[in-house]
Amino acid sequence: MTSMTAPSPSAIQKLAVALDFPSVAPAFELFERLNGAAGLFKIGPELFLQAGPDAVRRLVDRGAPVFLDMKFHDIPRTVAAAARESARMGVTVFNVHASGGAEMMRAAAEASRAVRPETKIIAVTVLTSLPTTSEEVLRLAAAAHEAGLDGVVASPREMRALRERFGPKFLLVSPAVRPAWAASTHDHQRPASPADAASAGADYIVVGRPITGDADPVAAAARVVEEIQSAL
Ligand code: C5P
């Protein structure tokens, strides 16, 4: 007989499932199946451009904690307007690119908080598909921190240094996570395991294809949560 420990709420809370689908039906279906089994549901450009803000609102209305991952990067006024609209949809968290600059980040945070203070705004440091250095990631994270953002997106490899430098309240979101059983690292240059990302201090661990591409996505998500839990 195999013994399975029940997943802890804190481990479940850390899993952010990337709903990267070309249409809304499978995204909603997966949300319904994983509702309560993950802490965030991430909507990126693929689904957003397909299904639009209505899909986001519908997910929010169904109680989904939504991470709107549009990575805004434009002049401050344009990003502030996009930030305002993101907050209006009631998302839990959305993001901008730290490389857009301090003024852009401050304008976005101000616009978003004026509409919905509880929506978190985080900055992408360096895309995990690109080569970079820890110094560069820390420099961009410091700019986001100074601009008053709630946290950053960074590779799991930088989590520990970011946590040490910016303290327990700075939200750390880590994509580029691959469980050992995942078929491929796909396009990530610096992947780490869910357990490594959790033990390094990530608040949210973003996993897409290892879950969405699995024949049994519910079991795959549970395995990721189990790995996260093993590190807490
Ligand atoms: O399928 P996979 O687990 O690689 O999905 C990772 C998700 O994280 C994708 O939706 C991708 O857009 C996102 N991502 C991100 N920031 C990065 C790298 C990936 O938000 N730096």
Regarding the beta carbon of 125 and ligand 1, being less than 6 Å apart is answered: no
Provide DSSP, 128-139: TTS---HHHHHH
Residue 4 within any structural domain of the chain: no
Rounded to the nearest integer, the mean pLDDT of the chain is 94
Q: Identify whether 71 is a catalytic site residue.
A: yes
Residue nearest to atom 5 of ligand 1 (CA): 208
Residue nearest to atom 6 of ligand 1 (CA): 208
pLDDT at 135 over 80: yes
**Distance separating alpha carbons of residues 110 and 76, to the nearest angstrom:** 11
Q: Taking residues 103-122, report their average pLDDT.
A: 98
CATH of the domain at 224: 3.20.20.70
User: DSSP character for 126?
Assistant: S
pLDDT at 22 over 90: no
The confidence band for 75, taking pLDDT boundaries of 50, 70 and 90, is very high
pLDDT at 4 over 80: no
**Distance separating alpha carbons of residues 52 and 27, to the nearest angstrom:** 13
Q: Ligand 1 centroid to 188 CA: how many Å?
A: 9
Residue 80 within any structural domain of the chain: yes
Regarding the beta carbon of 160 and ligand 1, being less than 6 Å apart is answered: no
Which ligand 1 atom is nearest residue 128's CA? 21
Q: Ligand 1 centroid to 12 CA: how many Å?
A: 19
Residue 98 within any structural domain of the chain: yes
Regarding the beta carbon of 208 and ligand 1, being less than 6 Å apart is answered: yes
pLDDT tens digits for range 160-218:
999 999 999 999 999 989 998 988 888 776 689 999 999 999 999 999 999 999 999 99
The confidence band for 44, taking pLDDT boundaries of 50, 70 and 90, is very high
Cβ count within 10 A of residue 71: 16
Residue 190 within any structural domain of the chain: yes
Residue 18 within any structural domain of the chain: yes
**Distance separating alpha carbons of residues 191 and 97, to the nearest angstrom:** 20
Identify the pLDDT of residue 3: 46
Q: Taking residues 140-163, report their average pLDDT.
A: 96
pLDDT at 65 over 70: yes
* Domains identified in the chain, total number: 1
- Please name every residue paired with 124 in a beta bridge, in sequence order, or none if there are none: 97, 153
Q: Ligand 1 centroid to 175 CA: how many Å?
A: 5
Residue 38 within any structural domain of the chain: yes
Residue 1 within any structural domain of the chain: no
Identify the pLDDT of residue 190: 65
Residue 213 within any structural domain of the chain: yes
Regarding the beta carbon of 142 and ligand 1, being less than 6 Å apart is answered: no
pTM greater than 0.85 (yes/no)? yes
Q: Ligand 1 centroid to 18 CA: how many Å?
A: 7
- Please name every residue paired with 123 in a beta bridge, in sequence order, or none if there are none: 96, 152
| Structural domain boundaries enclosing 75 | 9-230
